[in-house]
Chains A and B, each alone.
Chain A
Amino acid sequence: MATSLATIHALGLLTCFALLGTSRIGACIRWLSLQGILFSLVPVLTYDDGLTLRIILLAGGNIALKGVLFPLVLLHLRARTNYHREVEPFVGFVASILFGVVALAVSLGLARELQPALSHAPFLMLEAAIFLVSIGLFLIVSRRNALMQVIGYLVIENGIFVFAVITVVETPLLVELGILLDAFVAVFVMGIAVFHITREFGTADVDQLTTLRG
């Protein structure tokens, strides 16, 4: 179990750095899909009592949404709306990667802080969860393209998923379904919003959205 978790951890960090350093949105969406699938496997590996129906549903549903459906929606949107295929960051790629390194160090420190209170949570996954949330936030504030902001939001969602899975062993299925449903609707709502914005502004660049101030 420990080695497979370490593999997921390493590959997961790789997808984060790839998202920070990739310039084409299509490639970013594919990295996001890989990240979604990787971290969907965490519940299968961390629960001691083996594969129950609940865990299969949870992991399967998550792979279907974050690994397949959301990336498809995003790719479709990119094809429909985006004239610029580049990420167009406010913060350059090298600086972004540097931020990633700093964020990784901070996540390590925070995870060490939290470990005593969450003794049954695997340390590597705790650190990965914090790292995912910080990278997601960074993508949202540092990227100009609305699609990249949706990608950032989904990276945060991945982090929260990992965090929920490792800290709370038993949540009622109803609550989990509600949460998945919310993520599902959120992506569609954001998708429709991006579509409207592109139709109205002719671009999905959010630095056009600056009329309302003060």
Chain B
Amino acid sequence: MQTGYSIIAMLALAVLGAVTCLLLSRPRQILGTTVIVSALVLGLAAYLWIGVLGAGFVTAAEEWFYVDAFSAFHLIVLTLVFLLCSVFAWVYFSNEAGEHPFSRPVARRFGALWLGSLAAMTLVLVSNNIGIMWVGMEATTLLSAFLISLYPTRLSLEAMWKYLLICSVGIAFAFIGTIFAAAAIQSAGGVQAEALFWTRLASPDAHLDPTLMKFSFLFVLVGYGTKAGLAPIHSWLPDAHSQAPAPVSAMFSGFLLNTALYCIMRFVPPVRNTLGAGFADGLLVFFGALSIVVAAGFIVFQRDAKRFLAYSSVEHIGIITLGFGLGPLGTFAALFHMFNHSLSKSLAFCAVGRLGQQYGSHDMGILSGALRSDRLWGLALLGSILSLIGAAPFAIFMSEYQLLRAAVSDGAWVVLAVFLIAGSVVFVSALGHLIGMAFGDPKSPVAPSRIRLPAVVVVVPALALLLFLGLWLPPWLLDAIGRAVAVVGVHT
């Protein structure tokens, strides 16, 4: 199948781009390369998405690569967020001077690791083999660790070590879960060629061993959940997000967490087939709700803007996980929410990062009066955080509303109450932080900065898209998300 080649082309482009970055000598060329490669990969992902929506699924390399509506939707979100973050990286690093100059070695390291992470995340999303999916996931950890400590300071090294160790152990647990799944396929008489293939694992007549699948899902949930930032195993997340350079934090929150959640969701259909819907859904709802509550508790006390956004990511990942556990309606809301959150959160990290460069701090007390000192990024901060706390008419309001409907139709009243209470706590405390940051008086005079084209390219389309999707969900997108739901959300 011809569209299958675009899968291989995406991977090849990202890897080639990463190697090219190591050879280029000027930082601007490297940043330009990352933007061009991201744009091309986005184009390929869109082409693939259209192919998938037409044919149902696309395979390549003798079914080692398999893209269906669920992974194609994730690919679109990934490549869109990645392009946004790459353009922002151009803006951010062009303004980086003084203590941390964006020198040639730093630029090369950044370009190679950045595009390498893109390749690894793409590999996770397109692999049919759950072993290769795991390899890709582990590769994202190893590649992105040095993105956190791009400038090796004490704090960034501390954050990087925590990230590396906690996530490596988490991913090791996910591997144990993968082995359990492979053992289940084998005990059901699977042959070697298709052992570990997701298509085999998820087929309704797989007849997998229930005990093995139960252990498999527990290990996968805890393992990949560590990387996704689900409470109580999220402890690396606020540190890594606050210490990484802003484009990296934007990418982490914008998509890396979703990649891990994607891996968990790949295990849900086979677990539902063998153990019934209750087991997996109950665990998803529990961890989702717990993450929302824990994050809400921490958000109240945050002073650092990036840590605040990091805990907000824990909250939103919790919301998405919760949605995945609430039936087809909830899964729809979760996927829509994932898109909205990725876009809002990466924009928010971009805004805080850029403003932080001008104010010289990420402390929310110091970052005040952003709208006056920098109209464009101040607007981006205001819009993205309003969107994140679920203010109408932004798209997150719509997805959270759909999630509430799913909870009501599922009769999950406890979950509904937890979600509403924690949501209100976050809303009030985040609004408090936001009003100071956006409308307060600047503590020290900050020179108003000129509005430049690349920054406009980041801010305006993202905000416009969030507003647009909040007001109207086009039927074709509705249909595309609906098909993604059908891949993982079918109850038996």
Task: Give A residues with C-beta under 8 Å from B.
Answer: 114, 116-118, 133, 137, 140, 146, 149, 153, 156-157, 160, 163-164, 167-172, 174-175, 178-179, 181-182, 185-186, 189-190, 192-193, 196-197, 200-201, 206, 209-212, 214
Contacts and interface: CB of A to CB of B under 8 A. Distances in A.
A157 B158 CA distance: 23
Given A160-B179, A171-B196, A211-B158, A178 B131 contact: yes
Given A170-B192, A193-B145, A214 B139 contact: no
Contact of A193 (B161, B195, B243, B298): B161
Interface in B162-180: 162, 164-165, 168-169, 172, 175-176, 179-180
B165 A140 contact: yes
Nearest to A209: B158
A157 B175 CA distance: 10
Given A118-B212, A186-B142, A196-B149, A167 B182 contact: yes
B466 interface: no
Contacts of B155: 211-212
Given A172-B196, A175-B132, A209 B152 contact: no
20 contacts: A156-B172, A157-B172, A160-B175, A170-B192, A172-B131, A172-B193, A175-B135, A179-B131, A189-B164, A193-B164, A196-B157, A200-B152, A209-B158, A209-B161, A210-B158, A211-B158, A212-B155, A212-B159, A212-B238, A212-B239
Given A114-B215, A117-B211, A168 B135 contact: no
Interface of B: 129, 131-132, 134-135, 138-139, 142, 145-146, 149, 152-155, 157-162, 164-165, 168-169, 172, 175-176, 179-180, 182-183, 186-187, 192-193, 195-196, 209, 211-212, 215, 238-239, 242-243, 298, 301, 307
Given A172-B131, A178-B135, A201-B154, A214 B182 contact: no
Contacts of B139: 182, 185
Contacts of B182: 167-168, 171
B161 A146 contact: yes
A156 B212 CA distance: 20
A212 B137 CA distance: 26
Given A163-B179, A179-B175, A212-B243, A153 B165 contact: yes
A114 B214 CA distance: 11
A193 B215 contact: no
Chain A, interface SS category = helix
Contact of B152 (A116, A190, A196): A196
A211 B131 contact: no
Nearest to A157: B172
Contact of A137 (B129, B152, B169): B169
Contacts of B132: 174-175, 178
A185 B142 contact: yes
B83 to A, nearest CB: 27
Given A157-B172, A167-B183, A168-B195, A197 B157 contact: yes
